[in-house]
Amino acid sequence: MRKILIVGAGQAGLQLALGLQAQGYEVTVMSNRTADEIRGGRVMSTQMQFHTALQNERDIEVNFWESQTPKVEGLGVSVADPESVHGPGETQRAINWLGMLDGYAQSVDQRVKMSGWMETFAQRGGQLVIHGAAVSDLDFFAKKYDLVLVAAGKGELVSMFERDAERSPYDAPQRALAVSYVTGLGQRPEHPDTEAVRCNLVPGVGELFVMPCLTTTGRCDILFWEGIPGGPLDVFQGIKDPNEQLAKTLELMEEFTPWEYARATKVELTDAGGTLSGRYAPTVRKPVGRLPGGGRVLGVADVVVANDPITGQGSNSASKCAAAYLASILERGDKPFDEEWMQQTFDRFWADVQHTTKWTNAMLAPPPEHILNLIGAAGELQPVADRFANGFNNPADFEEFFYDPAKTEAYLGSVAGG
């Protein structure tokens, strides 16, 4: 029986651990927190997962919360009119539309999912070690296990993985992030019966995302600001009090997205741990970490590909990474997990996630004219809105109509003419 160590208990690490466990592998998961500490801690992300990522969980039968979680059937885009951004309540929308998803999306608070998956892993006989691993620990473990995977995306361990400059166009954070989990959000008047993710774009300022979620106390909504550094939304860094963060979030909504603020006047935080803020530079790293003692470890998910959350792809990429790595490990059989295999395994993941990285980096930049035309046309042509929305599940499709102005023009012409 092959022995595998996974360091990190997030979406990718635990999904992969449970998948390997079901196939008879002897798996150890190392986490720096217990399940109870995770469940009772702060929120960790926004984690909206689209169809492919959800299917990966169904395939290994760990979709425990699917029936309880809001089913997100649409993805809406609103764009503020830059000329109307003057003061609270004055901002108007230049664009507003809703695209329909082919398969629904869902968001389960990672405090719920990761604590539940950890407990399931342990109940099924997996070895769960509560320990904050250092590089020196991995030096020891690399000799004891057939394969060591690093799925802890923060801290000392990430430094083992070299930044891939060719695939990392940004060397500084592109957005300041602020998340609040709330209850009491009113329905949207435009589509009161359709659960949807709403993307509100404020040109030159940033973005507000609003999405339904299942949290520790039940149904909630997430308010998520992404602010351009140094701009009017970059005001959360010094805020420690959760209620103060929510108050600032609502104040900014009133000024920049009053159509969202109108349904948020009675919201309250879900719990004392319901806020998160920070920033990080989007980075792609080389997948093989070299240990001082000569061993090799393989990086997983955001250890090796950390995109900005502007396109909501973090948990989706993590799920896809876990599925790709699971398939690669199973196919390897009894052969050694050597450095060549590690690179090939990452390449299998990169073949998919490269499209996510390209799209995310494009969305961080000011949109060129043909993209503005595309987003505007989606308000008049429902097939365009639907295709854009479904790109969140399959970012590879953006190659066909998004980046190249000629392809965009041809696509819009075909839809309008059809």
Which amino acid is located at 59 in the chain?
D
Amino acid (one-letter) located at 126: G
pLDDT computed for residue 417 by the predictor: 81
Mean pLDDT to the nearest integer, 281-286: 97
Cβ pair 150, 9 in contact under 8 A: no
Nearest in space to 326 (alpha carbons), one of 8, 23, 10, 5: 23
pLDDT digits (tens, 9 = 90+) for 22-75: 999 999 999 999 999 999 999 999 999 999 999 999 999 999 999 999 999 999
pLDDT at position 191: 86
Q: What's the whole-number mean pLDDT along residues 208-212?
A: 98
Domains and CATH numbers, the chain: 3-63+109-170+282-363 (3.50.50.60), 72-107+174-278 (3.30.9.40), 369-417 (no CATH)
The CA-based diameter of the chain, rounded to the nearest angstrom, is: 65
List the single range of 81-85, 192-196, 214-218 with lowest mean pLDDT. Answer: 81-85
Question: Tokens 């629904």 — which residue?
Answer: 104
pLDDT on residue 410: 97
Q: Looking at the predicted structure, is the pLDDT value of residue 400 above 90?
A: yes
Q: Supply the pLDDT for residue 89.
A: 63
Report the candidate in 390, 404, 403 with the shortest Cα–Cα distance to residue 75: 390
Q: Which of 112-121, 154-163, 344-353 has the lowest mean pLDDT?
A: 154-163
**Cβ neighbours, 10 Å, residue 214:** 19
Instruction: Answer whether 227's CB lies under 8 Å from 244's CB.
Output: no
| 86 pLDDT higher than 70 | no
Structure tokens at 366: 């000011």
Residue 190 has pLDDT above 90, yes or no: no
What's the alpha-carbon Rg for the chain, to the nearest Å? 21
CA geometry: angle 281, 112, 283, nearest 5 deg: 15
For the chain, the average pLDDT equals: 95
Output phi, psi for 281, to 5 deg.
Answer: -85, 125
- More confident call, 168 vs 189: 168
Q: What is the pLDDT of residue 396?
A: 98
How is residue 235 written in tokens? Answer: 């005001």
- Write the DSSP symbol of residue 161: S
Structure-block tokens of residue 55: 């299917």
pTM tops 0.85, yes or no: yes
pLDDT at 1: 82
Encode pLDDT of 285-332 as tens digits.
999 999 999 999 999 999 999 999 999 999 999 999 999 999 999 999
CA dihedral 317, 319, 320, 321 (to 10 degrees): 80
Distance CA 146, CA 59 (A): 25
Question: Which is it for strands 147-150 and 176-183: parallel, antiparallel or unpaired?
Answer: unpaired
What φ, ψ does residue 258 adopt, rounded to 5°? -60, -25
Counting residues of the chain whose pLDDT is more than 70, the rounded percentage is 98
Which pLDDT band holds residue 412 (cuts at 50, 70, 90)?
A: very high
Q: Position of tokens 């980046």?
A: 403
Can you give the pLDDT at residue 85? 65
β 206-215/218-227 pair status: antiparallel
Q: What is the pLDDT of residue 156?
A: 84
Q: Are strands 3-7 and 147-150 parallel, antiparallel or unpaired?
A: parallel
Instruction: Report the C-alpha gap between 116 and 204 in whole angstroms.
Output: 40
Nearest to 63 by CA among 325, 352, 71: 71
What's the token pair of residue 394?
A: 């399959």
DSSP letter string over 279-339? ----EEB-SEEEPTTS-EEEE-GGGTEE--GGGS-HHHHHHHHHHHHHHHHHHHTTS---H
What are the respective helix, strand and coil percentages of the chain, to the nearest 5?
A: 40, 25, 35
Q: Which residue would you say has higher pLDDT here, 84 or 31?
A: 31
Amino acid at 45: S
Q: What's the mean pLDDT in 183-196?
A: 92
Q: Is the pLDDT of residue 192 over 90?
A: no
Placement of tokens 């980075």 in the chain: 283
Q: Is the pLDDT of residue 87 over 70?
A: no
How do residues 95-123 score in pLDDT, each as one tens digit?
999 999 999 999 999 999 999 999 999 99
